[in-house]
Structure 1
Amino acid sequence: MTINMRSALLIGTGGFGNVHLRELTRLEDEGVLRLAAASDVRVPEQSAKLIADRGLRVYSDYREMLAAETGADFVIVSTPIQLHAPMCCDAMEAGYHVLLEKPPGATIQDVDAIAETARRTGKLCAVNFFAPSRSALERIVTIAASGDVGRIHSIKGLSLLTRTHAYFNRTPWAGKLRANGAVVLDGAFHNPAAHLLYSMLKLAELVSGPDGTGSGADPLRVAAEMYHANAIESDDTTSMRIELRDGTTLCFYVTLCARRAETQRIRLEGTEGAIEWDYQDQVTVWSKGETRSFDCGEGSVLERRYRNLMRAIEGVDDRLDVSIESARRFTLAANGAFESAGRIRTVPPAFVVRSTDADQPGSYIEGIEATLKEAFAAGKLLSETGAPWAEPSTPFDVSDYRHFPQRFRFSE
């Protein structure tokens, strides 16, 4: 079936919005879609030249753009986290489908407002989580269903990342819990490692059971320990354990304070073997004494998201790769993690190395790579590994959770 060329609008041209801008113009040159206009209160220099070269219409007020560009089909929202929900809802109310940058919202009430608006307006809302490719998902689901690795009982994710001080100074809301009175929760797993946590939940959704609804992947309880070595409000290092409705346990580990970054990965552990997926879309299976590997790469994730949304608008695809309903599980787990932790704890200075390297100044936690790998292997929280700076937390019930915050304290 031939897909009609669709027209897009972009809200936000800085930061990751610049990545969207470059990808959209590339696809426009290939005849895949058309970028009609963009909106930003201040167009950054990195985007201004491309916009000028393309002769792209630019609006300082996104609402003005939504009212003027009625011939467009969908809107990409790539703005600060606290603006995701209101801008997304405004776009759907104005008659547009939406591709929303991750995370979909800071709070569960934000995401529920988006989902309610989508239902009421009949508009699609896709979320730009970098989940495994369709090929990788199909491969993993097929292997899990075959019984080769037995019953999947746990899903683990490991994210060893490095972020220098420049990362936390890139924007006024970076590393903040609140900005201008709005909840942001810009931390390690709510921004740079959000893709990995979502992907774990997506895999759990697909392998959770035969009913096809994915309800077995609904989080019930979250236990999380959240820390920072950097001078920020939110976390830069977190360990998390999530209990799902079907009994599967998710264990997630992230730090932005590693000396050396590694490829992020997810491990599905079964009673008879294991399956591992990494950010290069490589799938590895250990079963019956054998190891098998599969390359499941499918090119640009952004292009896949645009094409999927356009096919869904046409009725060719019967589902979105990442729907707002699927993304809700991420926000439920994320909010539950903050509630469980209660507050963000500071890693004592004795365990932190402050680098004064002119090129890479940053804060690094001594031995964090080995500590997180140990926790990952054992499925333990950091306090359970005996890390001297870690403190236990209390699990938090999210089975009927509707509003953040309840137990979390914004200051130590």
Structure 2
Amino acid sequence: MLTIAIVGTGNISHNHIQAYLQFGQRCRIVALVDIYPEKAHEKKARYGLTDARVYASHQQMLANEHDIDIVDVCTPPYVHAEISIDALHAGCHVLCEKPMSASLEECDAMIAAQQASGKTLSIIAQNRFTDAFWRLKAALDSGLAGKVCHAQVDSFWWRGHSYYDLWWRGTWEKEGGGCTLNHAVHHIDAIQWLLGFPSEVVAMVSNVAHDNAEVEDLSAAIFKYADGALTQLTASVVHHGEDQKIIIQGEKARISAPWQTFASVSADNGFPQSTNDTRREAEINAIFQQTPMLEWTLHAGQIHDLLQSIDNARAPLVDGVQGKRALELITAIYKSAITGAVVALPIHPDDPFYRTGGTSALAPRFYEKSASVANFSEVGAISLGKNLDQGI
């Protein structure tokens, strides 16, 4: 049975703990770590983790626990790399929350530590483990929609003004960025998983509703691919209703999450006819519906994949390289917005935006952070956004 240490017991740790408890025959949580140990004790009592020992630092935990198999990192982003690298060097597998780290330099250090240790490193991208995206990818990969021309990604979230009062949020140094980094990362990972890595990025960022944060609460970006296709992405924490979607326009049909397919037919003059290509729509729908539903979804789905990868000595679906790709696109968005230039990918190690602290040093401070709350009272697990599995 695999042993688990949870490092960071804030709101997102609920999703991790609940997921591990679903695999009670395969793993057990034996350590909880938090710089506020009372939070770890609360999780221990809430979930009946009677065998779990509580520590105030990951260093203390690693020094005392010699049989940990997986270190699960649920801390703020600025310490993801340090904790993950220490755990890998200690001979542990690592599951790290998004975003992978605070810089591409740290991503490469994490990947190097994983390669040197021979252990598994997986980065949370739980939206890949939804039936909506799993089936959308199957429909896309079938080729029935034709060559991809355009994608629309709406990563719409809503957070109240007080959201950025938490001590580490809303600062470039501690959070690493705003909604682009910590909310749209899910959809950015998903679109690069679906369409591949673009060649150029251009973007703008703004703060329109949170004057207690240095970072952006709204951004808009365009990705250009080598074949000329474009993706437009909006990241936001100002959209009431959190209406999230990915729409992919192929030459022959549109497909999307939430699921919809539409195949236009051209009249002789090039305008769309009133009747669609219903045969193509039916074939695409069949691919979507016949793709088996996942046994485990969201965090449970990714943890299941991690456990399977360890058992079978294979790479996880979202490894360190995949985690870095999402952060590289986010870094390109910030670089373009800050410099006003079109950014060519990849971003190289001699680029100031590659290095740890580079984006923070160059980024605009939209507002001064005006409050610093140590901890919010918990009201349950955090929102993971709208369910995209409509129509399944």
TM-score (norm 2): 0.78
Gaps of 5+ in 2: 265-275, 367-392
Deviation at 1:189, TM superposition (A): 1.8
CA 1:396–1:321 in structure 2 vs 1: closer, same or farther (change >3 Å)? same
Equivalent residues of 1:162, 1:256 under 8 A apart: yes
| Partner-residue secondary structure (3-state), 1:342 | helix
Q: Distance in 2 between matches of 1:99 and 1:309?
A: 8
User: Given the alignment, which residue of 271, 285, 293 partners 2:261?
Assistant: 285
Structure 1 residues 121-160: aligned runs within 5 Å = 121-133=117-129, 136=132, 139-160=135-156
Q: Which runs of 4+ in 1 moved over 6 A?
A: none
Higher strand share: 1
Write the letter of the residue equivalent to 1:32: R
Aligned position for 2:74:
78
Q: Distance in 2 between matches of 1:23 and 1:142?
A: 25
Q: Distance in 1 between matches of 2:10 and 2:140?
A: 41
Gaps of 5+ in 1: 206-216, 344-392
User: Given the alignment, which residue of 350, 365, 368 partners 1:411?
Assistant: 365
Aligned position for 1:195:
186
Aligned position for 2:307:
310
Aligned position for 1:117:
113
Q: Distance in 1 between matches of 2:322 and 2:333?
A: 18
| Partner-residue secondary structure (3-state), 2:128 | coil
Deviation at 1:226, TM superposition (A): 0.3
Aligned position for 1:172:
167
| Partner-residue secondary structure (3-state), 2:123 | strand
After superposition, the C-alpha distances for 1:147-199 in whole angstroms (9 at most, x for unaligned) are 32111122221022211022212x211121113xxxx3231121122211111
Q: CA RMSD in A?
A: 2.5
After superposition, the C-alpha distances for 1:336-388 in whole angstroms (9 at most, x for unaligned) are 11111118xxxxxxxxxxxxxxxxxxxxxxxxxxxxxxxxxxxxxxxxxxxxx
Q: Distance in 1 between matches of 2:51 and 2:100?
A: 30
Deviation at 1:272, TM superposition (A): 1.2
Deviation at 1:27, TM superposition (A): 3.4
After superposition, the C-alpha distances for 1:20-49 in whole angstroms (9 at most, x for unaligned) are 233333433xx2311111111213275253
Q: Distance in 2 between matches of 1:277 and 1:137?
A: 7
Deviation at 1:11, TM superposition (A): 0.6
Aligned position for 1:357:
none
Equivalent residues of 1:332, 1:401 under 8 A apart: no
Aligned position for 1:384:
none
Q: 2:112 aligned with 1:103, yes or no? A: no
Aligned position for 1:61:
57
Structure 1 residues 233-382: aligned runs within 5 Å = 233-262=214-243, 264-278=244-258, 283-287=259-263, 289=276, 290=278, 291=281, 294=288, 296=293, 298-315=295-312, 318-342=314-338
Query: What is the aligned-residue identity percentage?
Result: 22
Equivalent residues of 1:148, 1:287 under 8 A apart: no
CA 1:123–1:244 in structure 2 vs 1: closer, same or farther (change >3 Å)? farther
Q: Distance in 1 between matches of 2:130 and 2:16?
A: 21
| Partner-residue secondary structure (3-state), 1:334 | helix
Q: Distance in 2 between matches of 1:151 and 1:247?
A: 11
Equivalent residues of 1:9, 1:36 under 8 A apart: yes
After superposition, the C-alpha distances for 1:249-279 in whole angstroms (9 at most, x for unaligned) are 22111221123322x111111111111024x
Q: Distance in 2 between matches of 1:245 and 1:117?
A: 32
Equivalent residues of 1:36, 1:69 under 8 A apart: no
Deviation at 1:18, TM superposition (A): 3.2
Q: Distance in 2 between matches of 1:340 and 1:154?
A: 20
Q: Distance in 2 between matches of 1:244 and 1:327?
A: 20
Aligned position for 1:399:
346
- Provide the aligned length of Structure 1 versus Structure 2: 334
Deviation at 1:138, TM superposition (A): 5.5
Aligned position for 1:87:
83
